[in-house]
Amino acid sequence: MLRLASYNIQKCVGLDFRRLPRRILQVLDRVGAQIVVLQEADKRLPPRPAALPHFVLDEAGWNIVDLGGAGSLGWHGNAVIWRGEGVHELETGQMALPGIEPRGAVWVSFDTPIGPLRVVGTHLGLLSHSRQQQVMHISRHIQGLPEMPTVWAGDFNEWSRQPVLDHLAPQMRFLPPLPSFPSPQPIGPLDRIALGPGLQATGHGVHSDRPAHIASDHLPIWADIQAG
């Protein structure tokens, strides 16, 4: 089994307006995931330096996927970090997404204890039409890659609990949406995880233990995944 998590870290600025990268890592330690997809991992303005510094991650034993950003942690704010025995990074890629806002997605293929796994991380747009375009774009792009069990994770910015996005990527199975935003009293299921063929979740949830309630405006979500 492998635990994967997704967390919009809001540039490490908490609801107390303090930028505390190590507080974010404290939350991640308690989530207990081997692979974590992050959103808003870089500061907003060029050259978009990492909001969660590389040396802080190194000190905590996290490996950082190099997604091509000079000084950044990720690409379009999307980053992937990992640690633990049996997980090894293989290949990476990026996708510029359509829509009014500049948005992107990244993918990383791994060897893992449950076998080969491709992880897609994204942060979709605020407009419904853009999100639909972006999901279809990711779906087409991933289907053009060599076949591999695939999981999508990220901030999908979708408030509806209805299967609004699911039918746009019929090869993926979105886990039941759970409220993760805003972190003190979550009502919006903005953060999502979807599994492709050959994968199943033995459990999934939202991590709300302190200090997650204040470390970011989102709570992290997680899923325990196995082949099947």
Q: pLDDT per residue over 128-186, tens digit each?
A: 999 999 999 999 999 999 999 999 999 999 999 988 888 999 999 999 999 999 999 99
Alpha helices in the chain (DSSP H): 21-31, 54-59, 128-143, 212-215
Are 156 and 134 in contact by the 8 Å Cβ rule? The answer is no
Nearest to 126 by CA among 104, 101, 105: 101
Residue written as token pair 């999502």: 192
* pLDDT for the residue numbered 7: 98
* pLDDT for the residue numbered 47: 79
CA 152 – CA 165 distance, rounded (Å): 12
